[in-house]
Structure 1
Amino acid sequence: MTPPASRTWSRRGTTPVIRVRGRSQRRFSIAALYCYKPGERSRLIYRPRRHTDHKSGGRKSFAWTEYRDLLIAAHQQLDGPIVLIWDNLNVHKDHRMRAFIDATDWLTVYHLPPYAPDLNPVEGIWSVLRRTSQTNTAFTDPDHLIRQLRHRLRQIQYRSDVVDGCLTATGLTLTTPHLQPQ
């Protein structure tokens, strides 16, 4: 992962050039869910994954089973039904994932329009993560990177105002139906 630079310096009249060794090998993936339950604080549920066999033809991203396991864990954590709004990642539309969704009564899925990352609040989380934990940092090894990502995600997880801000940035609002007295 090429680290972003937020500030740099150079001699007057010289354009600063930042050299970074190596290139992205896509060894890490992170899946996250922005969760909202009426009457409770917003939550961020995430799973980082290191792909150790990516060079030998292994996966470079999450498999549908890992997304399924994340959804099951979220369902257990939230203790209620889930309405999921997903982007159009090919794994999200996999026929096995669709069969899993159809087989569960606690999960309802809607897909965002194609090419609409500005409507996905999790994209805001990635932006915050990139601007805070990775700026001006040269990671010593992959373990250093994953430790930093986990640490910063844990911090974001407990800041519901940051998570809510990512939803606000999309222009979408959370609406819950008014419960009728029985």
Structure 2
Amino acid sequence: MASGGPAADLMAVIDDAHRTPAAWEDTRGTLEAAQWFWLATVRPDGRPHLVPLLAIWMDDALHFAASPNSRKGRNLARDPHCTIATREHGVDLVIEGEAVRVTDESRLRRIAAAYAAKYGWQVAVRDGALYGNGAPTAGPPPYAVYALTPATAFGFPAGQQFPPTRWRFASGSD
């Protein structure tokens, strides 16, 4: 992420022209607190594939696990572009970017510890992957870990916390 954070601008909404876009620093706590996320990937025939999953916000990226043999794992191997959405504290957040496989074992150990702290999911790290009991949507172990660094993010508040905002990160676009 560029120093100073991503560029923020208001999305086209009536009566919000006089309001200031939300600062990313004030909003990313939603990603840390959220329990459930939705991952959208693209199937080989171009159709979307949407599944619930657990994710960890760490090091300016969302981290999630999937069996490489699951539909989402196969989709990501073919096309790493994806979207993750969540809702927490009355704010809907949508993160777009490319999922990159994490294989560094020291980083995987930190991610495993974060999963244990947040969700109680106990996993072992070996051979660049996570091993343990998983949810049916995760597929069987081993679990590949992916990092989704935001290229673009969108925030939609349920109330008046801030106006709908788009954040464009250094590597992102619309």
Q: Do they superpose with TM above 0.5?
A: no
Q: As a proportion of its length, which structure holds more strand?
A: 2
TM-score after normalising by structure 2: 0.29
Q: As a proportion of its length, which structure holds more helix?
A: 1
Greater RCO structure (CA 8 Å; 6+ sep): 2
